[in-house]
Chain A
């Protein structure tokens, strides 16, 4: 009994001994993982309220419109979920490598390359049955994005190049490649003001979930997040990855193939972001152009950190941040706030979430008696 309690206490990350296996002791860690990010979020909202109050806006109006624009109506829910879909996928691009202790922030680049590959696949296979084209788009998007981040992982493993910096540099390189192709080789001559590729065709769009305006990309995101969770927490591969993330030397001593782990995880991470690019093309834009660089990759970093790199927790967090960005339009129209206010709020949340890392294991009533 005591041993069992100790095991479960360890599993949720409580540091206290299992002398008194009460509810708080057993679930203290889990409660902490919900309570502290929630407190950080609340703190960030208060600071943002003060910030807009300095510009003469009423913070209560702000909170109301944020809620209303994000979750107030069925329409805003659909808007929120549509934005959450790519966020889930780009957050996985940061969360999966984080299991290995790597900080990858290049999801935006993988998204762009994934979109470009998916569009190319669709344009090459014009005329085939839509299901074939869509499958090819998914495969091309995943492979394109996957190889892009695998490049950052490989450079880290074989050349010792810092993966945070290289993955961010790759974002700018990806954007340059996209602009180059969209304004050159792949340009649709009919797109005059906004250089774009040709359209993939209405028949090849993945459409919306019946009864809603939310596209199927959300389902892709949910499946990917659950699959990532199972992979990390319920397979030998995921266990090996977490061992290598915890102690790379121990992983080498027990004979884990660290190179293979890093390359595979980075491929899957980039593949998720590439899939986000595919979804944006096949469900929203219908073609590739500079509109795709809408910052989903960067918001995904925040989602991953707020979810503490847990693939399942990414889902609610992505919906929350999708809601914040969905409410941006309403804040602009009703309160006259600039469109960058969503960016400011995201930045404040990020700062608060990181600062709240200092609180873990320090909240008195969750610590238990030792």
Chain B
């Protein structure tokens, strides 16, 4: 083996690098979904938003030459899909879970349709910040090549935590999520609050998608996201709707998702597909452990249809 000097240390290093790299989309989608669900509505369509975000970011980056414009475009696309979700949900007797499923199929379909011409060309990608310059070990340096979006996401988690607790907007979102009657009595439109919360959630999920196509894996194809969006939605549930816990859970997930490729790099190839499914198995396992049929989850917004 070429890296005989550090041998099996490759695996934990790759998992560390993966925790940083792979976790970013999980982080953005889960923070976005956290905002939406706190307002009392669930958007299962973020899987579609993620793929649309990835496609539009890649397209705009390719056309304009600026990856950051691509990130912005991905966010705007996500916000539009969020507005569509919120708009349909505000009709009477429409079920938000079903609309989410519909938008999951619609978003992926639209992204594949519009993204057909983008599979061939190469778009400018987001730059990485090198935090491993002090080290001589190439694997460690690779693990510490961090994207700015990751840092933004990490900073966003405590900001959201703080905003939910202390700002007027945070309070309004939580009021709409805990008791729409109370929000209405205070003279606020619950539908408008939820529209904004879903749009912001979609914006963040779109940015999560731009990370997929513009940094890691860093290209556009139809197999880019397989269930990362829905995993992130599940992640919010066992993160108890707490942005800080979303951050830790995303990092754990990134690490789990990096396990397969890491083991493959040291020659363990037999269970490759099973290790790739690690994030889904982990999600399911954690949901089995943390959920209970007897009580509603602590911290669950009372208006949320999925936990009632």
- Using CB atoms and an 8 Å cutoff, list the residues of chain A in contact with chain B: 103, 105, 155, 157-162, 164-166, 168-173, 175-177, 179-180, 183-184, 298, 301-302, 305, 338, 340-348, 350-351, 353-355, 357-358, 360
Contact = CB atoms under 8 A, between A and B. Distances in A.
B109 A346 contact: yes
B105 A166 contact: no
Contacts of B107: 347
Interface string B109-128: 11011001000000000000
B285 to A, nearest CB: 10
Contact of A103 (B98, B105, B276, B293): B98
A86 to B, nearest CB: 17
Interface in B293-307: 293-294, 306-307
Given A344-B113, A357-B94, A302 B288 contact: no
B283 A350 contact: no
A338 B230 contact: no
A200 B237 CA distance: 43
A47 B87 CA distance: 17
Given A157-B293, A180-B273, A172 B113 contact: no
B94 to A, nearest CB: 5
A351 B288 CA distance: 31
A350 B102 contact: yes
B234 A165 contact: yes
B155 interface: no
Contacts of B93: 357-358, 360
Nearest to B233: A165
A164 B273 CA distance: 23
A321 to B, nearest CB: 12
B274 A164 contact: no
B135 interface: no
Contacts of A301: 101, 105
Interface in B66-103: 84, 88, 91-95, 97-99, 101-103
A44 B139 CA distance: 52
Given A159-B293, A165-B233, A351-B88, A343 B102 contact: no
Nearest to B234: A165
Shortest Cβ-Cβ A-B pairs, 4 listed? A347-B106, A343-B109, A176-B277, A340-B112
Nearest to A348: B106
Contacts of B273: 176-177, 179-180, 183
12 contacts: A161-B284, A162-B291, A165-B230, A172-B280, A173-B277, A176-B276, A343-B113, A344-B109, A346-B105, A351-B88, A355-B94, A357-B95
B143 interface: no
B182 interface: no
Contact of B95 (A170, A302, A351, A354): A354
Contacts, number: 144
A180 B233 contact: no
A302 B227 contact: no
A358 B94 contact: yes
A354 B227 CA distance: 23
Contacts of A171: 227
Contacts of B231: 169
B226 A172 contact: yes
B116 A338 contact: yes
B214 to A, nearest CB: 21
B281 interface: yes
Contacts of A347: 102-103, 105-110
A360 B226 CA distance: 36
Most chain A CB within a 10 A radius of its CB, from B84, B94, B294: B94
A354 B94 contact: yes
A169 B293 contact: no
Contacts of A173: 277, 280-281, 284
B287 interface: yes
Given A169-B231, A338-B116, A360-B93, A158 B293 contact: yes
B91 A358 contact: yes
B191 to A, nearest CB: 13
Contacts of B276: 176
B228 to A, nearest CB: 10
A173 B279 CA distance: 10
B5 interface: no
Contacts of B226: 172
Given A338-B113, A346-B105, 10 more contacts: A155-B284, A161-B284, A164-B306, A169-B227, A172-B277, A176-B276, A298-B105, A343-B110, A346-B109, A354-B94
A128 B247 CA distance: 56
A305 B105 CA distance: 13
A367 B188 CA distance: 33
Contact of B230 (A161, A168, A341): A168
Contact of B91 (A159, A160, A355): A355
